[in-house]
Structure 1
Amino acid sequence: MQELGTGEAIARAKAVYDFGQTAIFASKADPRLQMVLYVPPTAADGRKLDLLVAVHGTGRTSAIDFRDGFAEFALYNDCAVLCPIFPVGIFGDGARSGYKFLEEGDIRYDLAVIAMVEEMAAKYDQDWSTFAMFGFSGGGHFTHRFAILHPEKLWAASIGAPGSVTLLDPTRDWWVGVRNLEARFGKPFKPEELAKVPVQMVVGDADLETWEITHKPGGRYYMEGANDAGQTRPERLASLARSFSDAGVQVTFDTVKGVSHDRIKVLDHVKSFLTTILKNRRAQ
Structure 2
Amino acid sequence: MAEQTGKPEDEAAARGKALYEYGPTSIYSAKHDPRFPYCLYVPPNLGKTGEKPELIVAMHGTGRGFTGYRDAFSAFARWNNCIILAPLFPIGVMGDGYRDGFKYMREGNLRYDHVLLAIVEEVCERYGIAFERFGLFGYSGGGHFAHRFLMLQPHRLWGVSIGAPGSVTLLDPTRDWWVGTRNFAELFGQELDIPAMRKVAVQMIVGAADLETWEITHKPGGRNWMPDANHAGATRPERLASLRDNFAENGIAARFDLVPNTPHDGQKVVPTVEDFFAGELKKLRSARKAA
Query: TM-score band, normalised by the shorter chain?
Result: over 0.9
Q: How far apart in 2 are the matches of 1:191 and 1:97?
A: 26
Name the SS for the 1:147 alignment partner.
helix
Name the SS for the 1:199 alignment partner.
strand
Check whether the contact 1:135–1:142 (CA below 8 A) recurs between aligned residues: yes
Q: Tell me the equivalent position of 1:57.
A: 61
Check whether the contact 1:43–1:124 (CA below 8 A) recurs between aligned residues: no
Shift of 1:52: 0.3
Correspondence list, 1:40-189, <5 A: 40-43=43-46, 45=48, 48-61=52-65, 63-189=66-192
Does residue 251 of structure 1 match 2:262? no
Q: How many residues align?
A: 279
Q: Tell me the equivalent position of 1:16.
A: 19
Shift of 1:97: 0.5
Correspondence list, 1:30-41, <5 A: 30-41=33-44
The one-letter code of the counterpart of 1:55 is M
The one-letter code of the counterpart of 2:61 is G
Q: How far apart in 2 are the matches of 1:7 and 1:181?
A: 51
Name the SS for the 1:215 alignment partner.
coil
Alignment counterpart, residue 222 of structure 1, candidates 215, 221, 225: 225
Name the SS for the 1:41 alignment partner.
coil
Alignment counterpart, residue 237 of structure 2, candidates 226, 234, 258: 234
Check whether the contact 1:162–1:237 (CA below 8 A) recurs between aligned residues: yes
Q: Which runs of 5+ in 2 are unaligned?
A: 1-7
CA deviations over 1:52-85 (Å, ceiling 9, x no partner) = 0110000101x11111110010111111000110
Name the SS for the 1:38 alignment partner.
strand
Q: How far apart in 2 are the matches of 1:254 and 1:39?
A: 28
Check whether the contact 1:130–1:152 (CA below 8 A) recurs between aligned residues: yes
Shift of 1:91: 1.8
Check whether the contact 2:47–2:53 (CA below 8 A) recurs between aligned residues: no
Name the SS for the 2:256 alignment partner.
strand
Q: How far apart in 2 are the matches of 1:180 and 1:263?
A: 32
Q: How far apart in 1 are the matches of 2:160 and 2:84?
A: 14
Q: How far apart in 2 are the matches of 1:120 and 1:212?
A: 34
Shift of 1:43: 2.0
Shift of 1:106: 2.0
Q: How far apart in 2 are the matches of 1:64 and 1:99?
A: 17
Check whether the contact 2:159–2:201 (CA below 8 A) recurs between aligned residues: yes
Q: Which runs of 5+ in 1 are unaligned?
A: none
Q: How far apart in 2 are the matches of 1:238 and 1:283?
A: 31
Q: How far apart in 2 are the matches of 1:44 and 1:189?
A: 36
Correspondence list, 1:190-229, <5 A: 190-229=193-232
The two structures have a TM-score, normalised by structure 1, of 0.96
Q: How far apart in 1 are the matches of 2:130 and 2:83?
A: 12
Q: How far apart in 1 are the matches of 2:94 and 2:151?
A: 26
Q: How far apart in 2 are the matches of 1:245 and 1:269?
A: 21
Shift of 1:41: 1.1
Does residue 271 of structure 1 match 2:259? no
Shift of 1:45: 4.7
Max Rg structure: 2
Q: How far apart in 1 are the matches of 2:112 and 2:12?
A: 35
Instruction: Give the share of equivalent positions with the same residue, in percent.
Output: 52
Name the SS for the 1:82 alignment partner.
strand
Q: How far apart in 2 are the matches of 1:18 and 1:202?
A: 31
Shift of 1:127: 1.6
